[in-house]
Amino acid sequence: MLVSTFDPFHNLALSASVAAIPILLFLLCLTVLKMKGIHAALVNLAVTFLIALFVFKLPIGESVGSVIQGIIQGIWPIGYIIVMAVWLYKIAVKSGKFDVLRGSIVGISQDQRIQLLLIGFCFNAFLEGAAGFGVPIAICAVLLVSLGYKPLQAAMLCLIANGASGAFGAIGIPVGIVGTFGLDGVTSMNVSMMTALTLPIINFTIPFLLIWLIDGFKGIKEVLPAILVTSTVYTVAQALMTVFVGPELADIIPSLLAMGLLALFLQKWQPKHIFLLNGREMKTEKHSAGEVIKAWSPFYLLTIFVLIWSLPVFKGLFAEGGMLAQSVLKFVIPGSSIGMSVDLIGATGTAILLAGLTTTASTGAISLKESVGLLRKTVAEFWIPILMICAIIGIAKLMTYGGLTVALGEAVATTGQVFPLLSPILGWVGVFMTGSVVNNNTLFAPIQATAGHIIGTNPSLLVSANTAGGVMAKLVSPQSIAIATAAVGETGNEAALTKMTIKYSFGLLAFVCIWTFVLSLIF
């Protein structure tokens, strides 16, 4: 916060109401006015800029600097990650690996409800744990479209499925980062353990919801054994990981176990009625085990490189005094006091870049020239979504530095013993505006912990509620919506996708709110 006060009207309720305008305006633009995402983002950026500058008195230099910081971070690392992830997918398609990969999935089951469990839920969770930052939504939505799902339908399903894994994206960073704040009585392990009181219920339910969305209760009945295998294995494994190990592998191990055990189960059992969205079975060639392993290699490589990039030893190379510290550009944005740090090599996008280059080099089906051409095409396709993301992050920065987020947090925290009921809403707001559970916890975890100490509720419970509530906002966060629509070639239809997902976001949020309040009476 770079302003003298977060309460410019000396009336917290009024100040918080004004601070909420960017959030309400965004929802209004996307749902009622049905504006394109890029137009909604730019209008909102202008309105937020004026509110921060003239109402909350953020100096002009800091206001402009906030927007510049948002633009830079929207391009690097977020835009970088998105472009690299889609580029890797295009390499897999061009090289022929994708057809074999798709065939390996269809070979497990022709039933498209089963394929949704394998790709939309299990593989989605795996990529969330390995990479995060929109990678699972982009890749899995495209995979589903290639299997016959309608573009916006595929995007919606992947967004909803992501609600089971978003809390532990990118090697558990959203929860792991809490341990760096030095909060009294709150550690990342405490929060990780507390998530096991809420998230397993949601995790177990989401596979049922996914099948219901495409085939109703009839579909649930027909593939119930497969749903139970997926839900039970993933839910139990993640609960055990979060309680006894920590957040780092809480997506990766459970998703691999669920995918593997579901594939084994399907060798012995298949639904009596094969559900096909377009009424036709997808014909695929038979491939050897070696060919299937090679076809999945882009994603093995993605995982390996991202895991290396996430290792503390590797990250230490880019820290102050590290061997590669010079590759991190650090500067202060001119005219402001806002510092920037741009990690050229240590960014997750570089790990995906290496996966793409290695895939290109290891197959003769695509040349380096063709691969570079695919990269140019990807950049051309994604410049509008990335511009939208830049605007959204600019809004988030203006709200943070201008004190708008603090005003919202302080207003909610004044509710006393009712606060646990509203605690997840604060998390939802944080992710809706920033698109990131990491940023959400950075903004609001200290407020949640402080409120917990004041009202006598376990502060780790409230920080976990902040995390869980935030995950429910990923379903409709403008940043997530922009990534999803761009991935399936539906840029400009952000309003339609938001309308498709928002009721599920609110429904899951309502459950988290009520359940957190119940838990607050116990802990």
Give 193-235 pLDDT, tens digit per residue.
999 999 999 999 999 999 999 999 999 999 999 999 999 999 9
- Can you tell me the mean pLDDT for 299-327? 85
- Can you tell me the mean pLDDT for 6-17? 93
Tens digit of pLDDT for each residue in 72-96? 988 887 788 778 877 887 898 889 8
Q: 311-320 as b/e, with b when 16 or more CB fall inside 10 Å?
A: eeeeeeebee
Backbone angles phi, psi at 400, to 5 degrees: -70, -55
Question: pLDDT above 90 covers what percent of the chain?
Answer: 45
User: Which tokens hold the place of 392?
Assistant: 């959204």
For residue 275, give every residue at least 6 positions away whose Cβ sits within 8 Å of its Cβ, in sequence order, or none.
Answer: 111, 112, 113, 214, 215, 219, 222, 223
- Can you tell me the mean pLDDT for 43-58? 95
Contact by Cβ (8 Å): 473, 436: no
Integer Cα distance of 9 and 223 in angstroms: 57
Backbone angles phi, psi at 328, to 5 degrees: -95, 115
- Can you tell me the mean pLDDT for 237-252? 87
Sorting pLDDT into bands at 50, 70 and 90, what band is 283? Answer: low
Question: pLDDT above 70 covers what percent of the chain?
Answer: 96
For residue 175, give every residue at least 6 positions away whose Cβ sits within 8 Å of its Cβ, in sequence order, or none.
Answer: 167, 168, 188, 191, 192, 195, 247, 250, 441, 467
- Can you tell me the mean pLDDT for 503-512? 96
Mean of the per-residue pLDDT values for the chain? 87
pLDDT computed for residue 202 by the predictor = 95
For residue 5, give every residue at least 6 positions away whose Cβ sits within 8 Å of its Cβ, in sequence order, or none.
Answer: 403
Q: Is 59 exposed, middle or buried (0-12, 13-18, 19+ CB in 10 A)?
A: middle
Contact by Cβ (8 Å): 463, 194: yes
pLDDT computed for residue 320 by the predictor = 86
- Can you tell me the mean pLDDT for 371-375? 94
Integer Cα distance of 230 and 224 in angstroms: 10
- Can you tell me the mean pLDDT for 499-513? 95
Between CA 141 and CA 84, with CA 242 as vertex, the angle to 5 degrees is 30
Q: Is 279 exposed, middle or buried (0-12, 13-18, 19+ CB in 10 A)?
A: exposed
Q: Which residue has the higher pLDDT, 285 or 348?
A: 348
Dihedral sign computed on CA atoms, order 493, 494, 497, 499 = negative
Indicate the range of 20-29, 58-67, 459-468, 502-511 predicted with least confidence: 20-29
Q: Which residue has the higher pLDDT, 92 or 515?
A: 515
User: Which tokens hold the place of 419?
Assistant: 């606060």
Contact by Cβ (8 Å): 80, 382: no
- Can you tell me the mean pLDDT for 63-79? 88
Integer Cα distance of 419 and 422 in angstroms: 5
Query: Hey, which residues does 326 pair with through a beta bridge?
Result: none
In the predicted structure, residue 133 carries a pLDDT above the cut 70 = no
Domain ranges of the chain: 12-271+291-520
Tens digit of pLDDT for each residue in 405-432? 788 778 877 887 888 998 999 899 888 8
pLDDT computed for residue 436 by the predictor = 77
pLDDT computed for residue 228 by the predictor = 97
The predicted model scores a pTM of: 0.75
- Can you tell me the mean pLDDT for 449-472? 88
pLDDT computed for residue 135 by the predictor = 75
- Can you tell me the mean pLDDT for 51-62? 96
- Can you tell me the mean pLDDT for 141-163? 91
Query: Hey, which residues does 340 pair with through a beta bridge?
Result: 331
pLDDT computed for residue 153 by the predictor = 94
User: Which tokens hold the place of 191?
Assistant: 């929060």
